[in-house]
Amino acid sequence: MAEENIHWADQIAKEVKERVEKDPVLKKIVEEKGFIVYDEKTPSGTIHIGSGRGWIIHDVIAKAMRDLGLKAKFILSSDDIDPYDKPNKELPKSYDKYLGMPFRNIPSPFEGYKSFADYYFMQVVEKFEEIGIECEIQSTGEQYEKGTFNAAIKKVLDNSDTIKEIFEETYSKEYNKIPFNVICEKCGKIATTKATKWDKENELLTYKCEKNLVDWAEGCGHEGQISPYDGNGKLPWKVEWAAKWPSVGVVCEFAGKDHFTAGGSRTISIAIADQVLDFPPPYPSTREETGKGYEFFNVGGKKMSTSKGKGFGFAEMFNYIPAQIIRYLLVKTRPHAVLDFDPEGRNDMILLYERFDRAERMYFGEETDDNKNEVANQKRIYELAHVGDIPDRMPKQIPFTLAATVIQVGLSEEKAIEILKKTGHVDENIEGMDLHYVLQRLRDAKRWIERFAPEQYKFQVQDKLAEGIEIDDKEKEVLKKVIAELDNELGEEELHNKFWELCQENDVKPKDFFKAAYQVLINKDRGPKLAGFMLSIDKDKVKKLIESL
Ligand SMILES: [Zn+2]
């Protein structure tokens, strides 16, 4: 198969494998730890949906690596030792007193969680099963405590001159810091301390907790001397990023493209990894090249911001858009492609479901394409995107728009299933997996109708003729003739043909007939495909509405 037809995750897995084989440093660490695909997130508040893109990307790459026979895993670390650096608007003012402290040492806003960090991180982690993410969760603070970063910390402090050079060269301004933030032994703040001296021999840092080091948190003035190891503090962000790579054994780590700009955090981290830690930075970077981060993932743009103005939360989104569909969208899209998904848009959701269904049919051999690469690609996307075990035969598919129609006609799942049976879309004795999939589709459609669907897809079947409706006599006549046809047990196509026949016989423009029918049935000028729609509505109801004209 030509390379351009390989799924992007398989391509990356292959490239990383080749890279490791060629690099003795990587080869050694992979022998010890396996292929580590890594990502990290600061749990400073509700986590935005955009972060989800990175998690899916990393999850899929790790899966592709395992499919190559590699021992690979995805580790997601909570950067819970980072300082609370600006007030979280979701929390009361009383939380301001914790500004400057590590998130993991701040009490949880809700009982039942270990800390502030734990609370916000759990909101997303508990959704991982639903979205099919398999990963090992780590706490960066705990890794500091365990001493995972001790060796890197020593190298960084012993070589702080090189780090100073790297920063000064990149930013053309003075860097006068010892790159380590001690947690003040007196007040517990990490953002307010400044290390003043590194005693290389005794491996001790002298530090001062300063009153005015930052303007958003006040230090206590304490001065002390402490070991930088085992969780007594942390490396500053860009240095820490580099330190994690050899310490954890990271061979692949993407981040949003904003980190990959010239002079951005990735460039600095690469230089530190290369010059101070002598470790090749993870894919997509090399010692020489920064590489490219993944593009942003926007759901619904600004329209979908929460009341707190923070954008759409990762966990919140699954209340509206099924995890399976979001996962499919992110798996099929290359990381470098911009992703603006608008569930309110005319077609985004419908198209996404149609494509998912098509990939599913191709996977199970129920549909094919002359382009064999396309079929192979769709199968692979389906495989990587599927949440949970893939069933051994194709589950019953109901088109999304049909589901949206029958759930609005039936108003309950039971009634909707009845309609699907009556109209021949599902078997009379549907059960088990098939029933489960159909019900799921009905629920998906219902949520879409309630929250996002454009007006044209929403309707309510009328109980009685809406006031003010005026139908011309000619259209009325055709409608009344349609009633008579309803008793003839016509199928959808036959009924549709009958509409055209009757229009022709009675010299009525089909356009006018359809409009009249929709006005009578749902008090709108348009609606779902009329024949199927009419058959899905209770026959007596249709008759009553038309007879009342
Ligand atoms: Zn202090």
175 and 109 co-located in one domain: no
Which of the 8 DSSP states describes residue 256?
B
Measured in Å, residue 69 CA sits from the centre of ligand 1 at 50
Measured in Å, residue 223 CA sits from the centre of ligand 1 at 8
Location of structure tokens 């995972």: 148
492 and 449 co-located in one domain: no
Measured in Å, residue 121 CA sits from the centre of ligand 1 at 27
Measured in Å, residue 440 CA sits from the centre of ligand 1 at 54
Beta carbons within 8 Å of 200's beta carbon, 6+ residues apart: 157, 158
Residue 120 included in any domain: yes
124 and 201 co-located in one domain: no
46 and 140 co-located in one domain: yes
Residue 395 included in any domain: no
Distances, alpha carbon 335 to alpha carbons 162, 291, 292, in Å? 33, 12, 9
Instruction: Return the beta strands (E) in 42-156 as ranges.
Output: 72-78, 136-139
pLDDT computed for residue 438 by the predictor: 97
CATH code of the domain containing 499? 1.10.10.350
Residue 437, amino acid? Y
Along the chain (549 residues), what's the average pLDDT of each consecutive run of 10 residues?
75 98 97 98 89 94 98 98 94 96 97 96 93 97 98 98 96 94 98 98 98 96 98 98 98 95 94 98 96 87 49 79 92 92 82 95 95 94 95 96 95 96 94 96 94 90 90 93 89 93 94 95 93 92 92
Map 274-312 to HEC letters.
HHCCCCCCCECCCCCCCCCCECCEEECHHHHCCCCCCCC
Both tokens of 87, joined, read 């007030």
Residue 349 included in any domain: no
218 and 313 co-located in one domain: no
Measured in Å, residue 40 CA sits from the centre of ligand 1 at 27
Q: What span, in angstroms and rounded, lies between the C-alpha atoms of 497 and 505?
A: 12
As a dihedral over the C-alpha atoms of residue 106, residue 110, residue 111, residue 112, rounded to 10 degrees, the angle is -90
426 and 483 co-located in one domain: no
Measured in Å, residue 192 CA sits from the centre of ligand 1 at 7
Residue 323 included in any domain: yes
In degrees and rounded to multiples of 5, residue 287 shows phi and psi of -60, -30
Measured in Å, residue 182 CA sits from the centre of ligand 1 at 10
Residue 108 included in any domain: yes
Residue 140, amino acid? T
Measured in Å, residue 160 CA sits from the centre of ligand 1 at 24
Which 3 state secondary structure label does DSSP give 345?
Answer: coil
Both tokens of 360, joined, read 């599913």
Residue 508 included in any domain: yes
Residue 499, domain extent: 473-547
Measured in Å, residue 103 CA sits from the centre of ligand 1 at 16
- How many structural domains compose the chain? 4
Of residues 303, 301, 294, the one with CA closest to residue 254: 294
Measured in Å, residue 218 CA sits from the centre of ligand 1 at 8
pLDDT computed for residue 119 by the predictor: 96
118 and 13 co-located in one domain: yes
pTM above 0.85, yes or no: yes
24 and 113 co-located in one domain: yes
Q: Where are the alpha helices (DSSP H) in 292-451?
A: 314-317, 323-332, 348-363, 372-385, 400-410, 413-422, 432-451
Which 3 state secondary structure label does DSSP give 370?
Answer: coil
Boundary-marking domain end, from 314, 340, 366: 340
